[in-house]
Amino acid sequence: MTNGTGGASASEPTGFLYPFIDAEESNLAALMTDLVASARSKIEDSASLRVATLTRCAEHVEVAASAMADRFRRGGRLFTFGNGGSATDAQGTAELFGLPPYGRALPAISLVEDQAVLTALSNDVGFELVFSRQIIALAKANDIAVGFSTSGDSPNMLRAFDEAARRGLLTVGLCGYEGSGMAVSDAVGHCLVVHSDSVHRIQETQDALMFALWEAVQRHLNETAVVRSA
């Protein structure tokens, strides 16, 4: 009998009577070791993907943030949307812009917030129109639409971007993989693509991109304020 974790019972005279217990013990220790190793390797993957993506997208983030700041200056508001985990990214983004930890609060709302609206539209006109119909109802030309999708191919996202672009909104998309519908759509003015095929790593990196965008927007708005007061 082998016991890789050095348990004492294998060497005891009665150990052969309880091989099951011995195996369970060493398996648990081995499982915990595996879990820790797996976690560490993914933590490193996550960190390096975020750093690499933000470094690669630095200029694009700067351009998009400058355009967003320009819209906010002209009284524009931010609408965010996404499905599933990306819906919570959309909510988190609205929270970040609207109730910032520091800096100035900006007008932002997520289109996944109201269950009555979501279910009414899904039930009556279909889930594909669940965001585009809200954009038709709410948006004005100076506004901003930010959409999250890991696949970049969700029909309701593509419809929302089409509608937003048609109405003159500034459109910013965050998606994963490569060559997705959002990445090639003319309706997505600024598309930040995370090159990964892991939904989890894509979402983590999209959060990082969004935070970088938000910080850059805050900086641009502050720079304007300084010029004005000078």
Partner 1 sequence: MAIVDDGRLAVDASTVPAEDLAAAALSLARRFGAGGTMWCVAPRWPSHARHVAVEFVHPVIVGKRALPAAFVHAATAVSAVRELARPGDVLLVVSTADDPSLDALLTRADAWGLTSVWLGAGRRGAAAEPLPRADHMVWLETGDAAVAARSGDLVMLYHLLWELTHVVFEHPGLLTEDADTSTDCADDVCITCSDEGRVAEVRALLDDGRVEVLAGGHAEQVDGRLVGDLRPGDLVLVHAGVAVTTLRGSDD
Query: In the complex, which residues of this chain contact partner 1 (CB under 8 A)?
Result: 21, 24-25, 27-28, 31-32, 34-36, 38-40, 42-44, 46-47, 50-51, 54-55, 58, 61-62, 84-85, 87-89, 91-92, 95-96, 101-102, 150, 199-200, 203-208, 210-212, 214-216, 219
Whichever of 131 and 214 has its CB closer to partner 1, that residue is 214
Whichever of 130 and 187 has its CB closer to partner 1, that residue is 130
Minimum distance from residue 56 beta carbon to partner 1 (Å)? 10
CA distance 105 to 211: 14
| Phi then psi dihedrals of residue 122, to 5 deg | -60, -40
Minimum distance from residue 186 beta carbon to partner 1 (Å)? 27
- As given in the structure block, the two tokens for residue 57 are 């997208």
**Burial label, 99 (beta-carbon count in 10 A; 0-12, 13-18, 19+):** exposed
Whichever of 15 and 92 has its CB closer to partner 1, that residue is 92
Minimum distance from residue 162 beta carbon to partner 1 (Å)? 26
The distance from CA 114 to its chain's CA centroid, rounded to whole angstroms, is: 20
Minimum distance from residue 133 beta carbon to partner 1 (Å)? 22
CA distance 194 to 176: 5
Whichever of 61 and 146 has its CB closer to partner 1, that residue is 61
CB-based contact 177:198 (threshold 8 Å): no
CA angle 71, 82, 159 (to 5 degrees): 75
CA distance 177 to 167: 28
Whichever of 38 and 120 has its CB closer to partner 1, that residue is 38
Minimum distance from residue 190 beta carbon to partner 1 (Å)? 15
- As given in the structure block, the two tokens for residue 66 are 């400058």
Whichever of 43 and 125 has its CB closer to partner 1, that residue is 43
Minimum distance from residue 142 beta carbon to partner 1 (Å)? 25
Q: What is the CA radius of gyration of the chain?
A: 24
The distance from CA 156 to its chain's CA centroid, rounded to whole angstroms, is: 17
